[in-house]
Chains A and B, each alone.
Chain A
Amino acid sequence: MSEGVIKKFMYVNRKPPYGTVYALESLEVVLIGAAFDQDVSLAFIGDGVYQLTAGQSTGGIGMKNFSPTYNALGDYDITKLYVEKESLEERGLAIDDLMEVVYEDEDEDYAEKPSIRLVSRAELADIMAEQDVLLNF
């Protein structure tokens, strides 16, 4: 194993949740990767912002609705979900159209805090530049 090394891992989600398997299999990497105690964040850009939209219902297409899984990420200490503001706006979406994703902050008596952080394209570029490993899905 790789003890002691902590790298900044960012999973960049660029595709809608259904239509292709990228979003679902990206989430599988995130969950497995959580066991490695790295500094993990997720970014949602382009059509990837649809992965976080509220009220997803997949009954009509015979696929599993895996969107509740995003809310479990906090239990894996994954608390940074960056959503690009311009990508939302370009699709006529606002933060209110997204699910509420929260985590419990151990340092503040387990207060619930939002995991979704709205950032501009320029801000996200800066955050990406700080990463050691970018995994694009």
Chain B
Amino acid sequence: MKFGILINEGPYQHQASDSAYQFVKAALEKGHEIFRVFFYHDGVQNATRLASPPQDDRNIIALWSALAKEHNLDLVVCVAAALRRGILDENEAKRGGKDAHNLADGFRISGLGQLIEAGIQSDRLVVFGD
């Protein structure tokens, strides 16, 4: 089956991203396809490479980056939600005149159309949120 995934909550504050990660990992192990993982609302915070959790805790952002690399996942962060929360790639930082960018490896910033497309193209769109 082809899954689209929507994550609506930030890391650590909420379990949504952890649950989505476990779901995606399990689905891939079972041979399913992940069309796209879309990050919205505070879910965009899952894409900051500056997150520095204590060493005895999981690093959710790094887990996503690693999983994306291993399985060539399409991790998409909503541009409008990201910009208002200070999640920027190099391009957006330049455009907004900011002195830094913080998008983690394996993520890309794009528009909400990518979420709708995931809904159209996937057999199931699974939402992880509050």
Contact = CB atoms under 8 A, between A and B. Distances in A.
B120 A135 contact: no
A129 to B, nearest CB: 15
A35 B112 CA distance: 11
Nearest to A22: B41
Interface residues of B, number: 18
B80 A135 contact: no
Contacts of B121: 2
B41 A38 contact: no
- Classify chain A's interface size: 20 to 34
Interface string A117-137: 000000000000000111111
The DSSP consensus for interface residues of chain A is: mixed
Interface in A31-79: 32-33, 35-36, 38
Contacts of B40: 25, 29
B111 interface: yes
The DSSP consensus for interface residues of chain B is: helix
Nearest to B112: A32
Interface of A: 1-2, 5, 7, 9, 21-22, 25, 28-29, 32-33, 35-36, 38, 132-137
Interface of B: 6, 8, 40-41, 80-81, 111-113, 115-117, 119-121, 125, 127, 129
16 contacts: A2-B121, A5-B120, A7-B119, A7-B120, A9-B119, A29-B40, A29-B116, A32-B111, A32-B112, A33-B113, A33-B116, A36-B117, A132-B119, A134-B125, A134-B127, A135-B125
Given A29-B115, A32-B112, A33-B116, 12 more contacts: A9-B116, A21-B41, A22-B8, A29-B112, A36-B120, A132-B119, A133-B119, A134-B125, A135-B127, A136-B127, A136-B129, A137-B8
